[in-house]
Structure 1
Amino acid sequence: MNTSFKREIYKFSHENIALYGLIVLIVTMIYNFFTKTITVQSLSYGFGAIEWIPLIVITVASAIFSMEYKNNTIIMLEYKTSHKFQIYFAKFLVVLVYSFLLTVIAFLLTLMLSMFFNNVRYDWLVTKNGNNLLNGLLANLAGALIYSFFSIGLSFMLIMLVKNNAVVVCFGIVLAFFGASFSRGLMQSFPNFISTIKWNFLNMIFISQQLSKPSLSLKSHLSSLELIIANIVYGILFMVLGYYLFKHRQV
């Protein structure tokens, strides 16, 4: 397993998709900083980073598998590895580490932009309503990281199911920008079944904001702890289903 992980780290670090994802994150954050009014909310959201990180992760996660099949390098991987699970799980870990690095970079860039280029200074440590701006940013980025775990599992399952990277990316975009609205629409349409519908996978996206704004539980109908647990459970479930499809996929 250690050998597979090192091999995937080496391959991933030399693939352009990893660099492109990082550039997209940095560019979108800088763009939001210079084109939108800076508020406490925009700072706590990392200038849009909490929305872009899971989207970048979905794109990267699906791409690293689709490229293996497109270039037929998956054949060599399976030949060199004694068990398919090592290939699958090593890739999962690599993308998870990548999402963590994106989160750290988003945190540092948010601080840099707000401290060096912002005329309106915000005190990150002033406590208001029992919370401060720094804790809010950390909570939102933590939520984005947990949602990235969910997104990796979902991407791996979808790329094995539909075998088309573009379809997976489009699904990720729809999920990122309309998932919460669809989920709320379902719960409003069937109020008698909210106790069940609230656990739908579209509702998991609320975690990227609710950890810093517990009041959003009125929309998600899930507590922050329930959202954390549900995201992790969904991520594991999708990962397992994805592995089953990968294991039985013909090269």
Structure 2
Amino acid sequence: MTSSEMKAVNIMKTSLYQEFYKFSHKKITWVAPMLLLGYMALWIAYPMTRLMTMMTYDSSDAINLIVIIVGSTMFSMEFQNNTILTLIYKSSSKPTVYFNKFITIFVYDVLLHALSLAFTIVIALTIRPVAWMKVYRYNQPLIINMLSTTGIDVLTSVLIISLVFVISTMINSNAVVITASMAVVFFGEAISTDFMNLDSSLAYLFKWNPFNMTLLTLQYSNYPLYHETTLLTNLQISLGALAYMLTFLGVGYLIFRKKRF
């Protein structure tokens, strides 16, 4: 590796470290996990214990809300505080800034899912015991259902993060970004249904709309109900979510690269 390449790598490492440092010093970074646990605790009394265990006590909704709020501030606050130019100057390139922010929120997202898993296991070992190896959904043991749902939800939440990045690179207002992102995510099912009701003959095409892909976690945990809405198999909706995630990340980067500060 040449000296110039070594210098570029060191700059990237320093930039990523600074991004994590800034992120770790935000209050919301530490408050959000506590809110997540509080939200999950509200579902402990829900009678369908195995379903709640599989869904890690509906942590998906809370995590989606958290990544929307936290993710939307990663660009919009830089724009509002006019610190984006300094950040780009120190990082030497826009791609470094953009993807370091994505890596930071991705790691945070994974940690939130790990926390929800740990809390679910604690609940299962104490308050609401379950038979981990008993077959539940998809002819698999409950523990596999839970781990699979968590992995699938990571994909769903990263899809949402990529969408938030597109919106936040287009709009400088933090409040508008949060509102728009929440509308897309939490009204995605209704929007998707409206799309497919426009013309039933085109349902085979409309079912691939991006709003459908935000239902991935819900469909996996309750296939018979949500398959009627999405008209896609779990594999199809997973591949669609992955494709849209990569597309949104690319579009967000292009917008950020062309944006004038």
Normalized against structure 1, the TM-score is what?
A: 0.91
1 CA distance for matches of 2:99 and 2:136?
42
Aligned to 1:9: 20
Does residue 172 in structure 1 map to residue 146 in structure 2? no
2 CA distance for matches of 1:213 and 1:132?
16
1 CA distance for matches of 2:190 and 2:48?
25
**1:8-47 matched pairs, under 5 angstroms:** 8-34=19-45, 36-47=46-57
**Greater mean deviation of Cα atoms: 139-148 or 211-220:** 211-220
**1:88-99 matched pairs, under 5 angstroms:** 88-99=98-109
CA gap of 1:156–1:128, structure 2 versus 1, over 3 A, is closer
Aligned residue for 1:156, secondary structure, equals helix
- Flag structure 2 segments of 5+ consecutive residues without an equivalent: 1-11
Deviation at 1:57, TM superposition (A): 1.0
Determine if contact 1:180/1:206 at 8 Å carries over to the other structure: yes
Cα offsets for 1:100-142 (capped at 9, x unmatched): 0111111111111232123xx3212111461222122222211
Determine if contact 2:156/2:216 at 8 Å carries over to the other structure: yes
Aligned to 1:250: 260
Aligned to 2:142: 133
2 CA distance for matches of 1:128 and 1:80?
52
1 CA distance for matches of 2:81 and 2:191?
37
2 CA distance for matches of 1:100 and 1:13?
15
2 CA distance for matches of 1:172 and 1:44?
26
Determine if contact 1:54/1:145 at 8 Å carries over to the other structure: no
Does residue 155 in structure 1 map to residue 164 in structure 2? yes
Q: State the AA in 2 paired with 1:193.
A: L
Q: What is the Cα-based RMSD across aligned positions, in Å?
A: 1.9
Aligned residue for 1:211, secondary structure, equals helix
2 CA distance for matches of 1:187 and 1:82?
45
Aligned to 1:81: 91
Q: State the AA in 1 paired with 2:108.
A: Y
Aligned to 2:8: none
2 CA distance for matches of 1:193 and 1:156?
30
Aligned to 2:154: 145
Aligned residue for 2:43, secondary structure, equals helix
Q: State the AA in 1 paired with 2:21.
A: Y
- Flag structure 1 segments of 5+ consecutive residues without an equivalent: none
Does residue 234 in structure 1 map to residue 244 in structure 2? yes
Does residue 54 in structure 1 map to residue 64 in structure 2? yes
**1:201-216 matched pairs, under 5 angstroms:** 201-215=210-224, 216=226
Aligned to 1:114: 124
CA gap of 1:241–1:128, structure 2 versus 1, over 3 A, is closer
Q: Report how many aligned residue pairs link the two structures.
A: 248
Determine if contact 2:80/2:172 at 8 Å carries over to the other structure: no
Identity of aligned residues (%): 29
Determine if contact 2:77/2:174 at 8 Å carries over to the other structure: no
**1:58-73 matched pairs, under 5 angstroms:** 58-73=68-83
Aligned residue for 1:33, secondary structure, equals coil
Deviation at 1:213, TM superposition (A): 4.2
Aligned to 2:205: 196
Determine if contact 1:126/1:133 at 8 Å carries over to the other structure: yes
Deviation at 1:171, TM superposition (A): 2.6
Deviation at 1:167, TM superposition (A): 2.0
2 CA distance for matches of 1:151 and 1:158?
11
Deviation at 1:68, TM superposition (A): 1.6
2 CA distance for matches of 1:135 and 1:186?
34
Normalized against structure 2, the TM-score is what?
A: 0.87
Determine if contact 1:4/1:87 at 8 Å carries over to the other structure: yes
Deviation at 1:72, TM superposition (A): 2.3
